[in-house]
A and B are shown apart, each in its own frame.
Chain A
Amino acid sequence: MLAQFLQFLFSGITVGATYALAALGFTLIYNASNVINFAQGEFIMLGGMLAVFFTQAGLPLPVALVLAILIPAIVGVIIEKLAIEPVKGAETVTLIIITIGASLVIRGLTAVIFGKNTHSLPAFSGETPIDILGATLMPQSLWVLGITALVVVVLWYYFNRTLQGKAMLATSYNRLAAELVGINTGWVLFMSFAMSAALGALGGILITPITLTSYDVGIMLGLKGFVAAVLGGLGNGLGAVVGGLLVGILEAMGAGYISSAYKDAIPFVLILFILFFMPRGLFGGKSTDRV
């Protein structure tokens, strides 16, 4: 009983950490620009695929991983410069279609360049499972959780203790006011795309040894990251992390105890229920409309 519960919990937290990183990516871009970036999932896919490609090409693991984070970050910045900046202030639907267009381009190019096969990445430190109260924990899960925790701490420090981070926060509260005190909001937008693409790619790399990857895994991962971000309350960093872990855990529990066929539906059922009762997510503030 307990062993089984722990097993579901471990796998839930591990996947949840990836959703949390994706959700943080959604949050960063949303705060800087009010855009929901539907290409976020493709950064996750790109991170995993590039890591596979570079290690197979013979590069040492650390170099491969850095490149697999750097390239998606550059792709994110290109999308921001070419497709998001020119349409500032467009309607929500228009922005959604643009980012979906971007996700199709990334997915399509990946399929053309790397093919449509499923790939795996060797675990960072072996495959010997660790036994905890009858449940097994893969060492890779520890990597996922450890690095995610580290990222959260670094991000917290960045946004609360550095001038750059505070400038980004200020922009998310009020763009005009931020510009008036001399913050370069164009730079904030640029940084937010680079950072969220890098976060997504990092999540994709970490999870690939456990879940495998192929050119089309981005859609579902991205949408679940979106669920996590909305669950926590759009724009709330802590909410994104909690939302990600919660979505991961409930998905694993639902798949284990209720129905594995409906695993992918669980996050969406969850978000519908939450939104019915809490229209702005768990940690979303009350909104007031200016008339």
Chain B
Amino acid sequence: MKKSVYNGLYVVIAILLVLPFVMPNSFYLDLAVRMAINAVIVLGLNLLIGFAGQISLGHAGFLGIGAYASAVLPTHFGWHPLLAMGAGAVATGILAAVVARPIFKLKGNYLAMATLGLGIIISIALRNEAQWTGGPDGMPVPAMGLFGFELSNDKQWYWVVALLLSVSVWASLNLIDSPFGRALRALHGSEVASQVVGVDVVRYKVAIFVLSAVFASLMGSVTAHYVGFVSPNFADFFHSIELVTMVVIGGMASVYGSLVGAVLLTALPQALATFEGWETVVFGAILMLSMIFLPKGLVPTLAAKFGKGE
């Protein structure tokens, strides 16, 4: 039982190890790095949406806080990038914890409204505080380094995010199988029933929300350093939707589904670039078609088809 759970992880690690040696050029390496970063974000978001059954339409806001902490604090205050990253994560954690209690009294569409609102407020603030954030144009982000060693080329970044991704997959698999993970799945099934057996529903919802928000903030910082630039679009509503779509297309409550969703949706804009001017139409149509024909997402649908659980 335990063994089969980790089989997928070994496959992921094997793919990550081989990938850089079969990449034809740096374009694909860059794409792989961005896929891996998104995969880590989506893993965290899937814990919230897929496993705990709580929707968040404002997650890009948390990414934005992390990304801008990594841009603003080193640029304007001379902080070390790692310290700035930590500060962003702590600030996000505090914000998420403060709003979580009132927000998680809400359900379904009301919860969607509240998280959407939170995300939009953050992105408008980032857009408006131009003296710090550069406004709508965004701002450059200094390089990430430690002890005189600087992360500069895509190869180095690849190994860093590959490590992050492997650790995240391993941590997610363990979390789901822990008492914490079981409590989350229980409250997804029925809040009342889980309360009856002694699960502190509100506390678990708050905990997973804060956890996935901090995850997002840290990865926001990583993205900012990797790309070397942040703009308010990074925190906007559409980006939140993209992340939620990755969760749902890959498969809700599926660790490997998160990876598949992130890979597909990161690659999609590249693939659509050929449809000059029609990208938005085709992207929208793909969202609709995949939800109509695969409402449970790719990985769970395929797993059910081939008759084995994840």
In the complex, A238 Cα to B124 Cα: how many Å? 30
Verify if A94 is at the interface (C-beta below 8 Å from B).
yes
Q: A91 CA to B300 CA in the complex, in Å?
A: 15
Size class of B's contact patch?
35 or more
Residues of A close to B125: CB separation below 8 A: 262, 265
CB proximity of B111 to chain A, nearest CB, Å? 9
Cβ B128 vs Cβ A98 within 8 A: no
Bound state CA distance, A86 and B292, in angstroms? 7
Q: Are B292 and A223 in contact (CB under 8 A)?
A: no
Q: Which of B103, B113, B118, B280 contacts A104 (CB 8 A)?
A: B280
B49 interfacial by beta-carbon distance below 8 Å: yes
Docked complex: A225-243 residues within 8 A CB-CB of B: 226-227, 230, 234
The digit string for A26-46, where 1 denotes a CB below 8 A from any CB of B, is 000010000010000000000
Complex Cα distance, B106 from A112, in Å, reads 39
Please determine whether B113 and A102 come into contact, CB atoms closer than 8 angstroms.
no
Q: Closest approach, in angstroms, between the C-beta of A94 and any C-beta of chain B?
A: 5
What residues of B have a CB within 8 angstroms of the CB of A101 in the complex? 284-288, 291
Question: Given A87-B291, A271-B113 in contact, is the A93-B124 Cβ separation under 8 Å?
Answer: no
Inter-chain contact B281/A105, CB cutoff 8 Å: yes
**Chain A facing B: main interface SS:** helix
Q: How far is the CB of A265 from chain B (nearest CB, A)?
A: 4
Judge whether A6 is part of the interface by a CB distance below 8 angstroms.
no
CA distance A96 to B192 in the complex (A): 26
Chain A residue nearest in CB terms to B101: A276
A271 and B114 contact, Cβ closer than 8 Å, known pairs A92-B109, A98-B288, A105-B284: yes
Q: Which residues of A contact B113 (CB under 8 A)?
A: 226-227, 230, 271, 275
Enumerate chain A interface residues (CB-CB to B < 8 A). 30, 36, 83, 86-87, 90-94, 96-98, 100-109, 111-112, 219, 223, 226-227, 230, 234, 261-262, 264-265, 268-269, 271-272, 275-276, 279-281, 289, 291
Q: Name 9 extra pairs, CB < 8 A, besides A93-B49, A97-B245, A265-B120.
A: A83-B288, A100-B287, A104-B287, A107-B284, A223-B120, A230-B113, A234-B109, A265-B124, A275-B114
